[in-house]
Structure 1
């Protein structure tokens, strides 16, 4: 029942609750159809990755970006690699350059513990 709080005397409308719930569900389903779900795909690598392996990962990232997903690129450092963070940044920027046809850099490379991450967003 809907009640009009400002009316004098108070007025209510009797309605079919099942029909009301059905209409609400239909509206909700219709609004979900228009939404685009954006997933975040993650690609992991090390700072001493080979050129061909990097190209393969860039190709996979390009597929994700074409589908409209964001890509999180992570370079993982282990042991002595932690002393060479600049090598990881070079790898990430090279990766961004390889996928520049399909992406723009959303977040520049940042260090979080033993990982360096960068986000790529699909071009509009």
Structure 2
């Protein structure tokens, strides 16, 4: 672990704008359930390449960190920027509905799920 961290730190020392290195620095913390620490690094990945890492951060917030309000905000930004695309095999709307379900917003979650299913059926 220390060798991996040192390699990432050397890479970031050479070029701190490489978003992938920030995301990789976050991963061990997420795997250890230290989401708040990992999120500081993932936020830097999003800062340097939001197009690539914003949806991933939203996914982490939704599924692992369980910061549902923040996840919804990120997913809504993703939808605004690229439409209802996918992250980790599910649409952004699916994840928003899941967040609402976890926030006990059952009617809202159901409505979003149904709309998302309808859109996917049309697409497929």
Normalized against structure 1, the TM-score is what? 0.25
Q: Which has the higher helix share?
A: 2
Larger radius of gyration: 1
Higher relative CO (CA 8 A, sep ≥ 6), structure 1 or 2? 1
Q: Which has the higher strand share?
A: 1
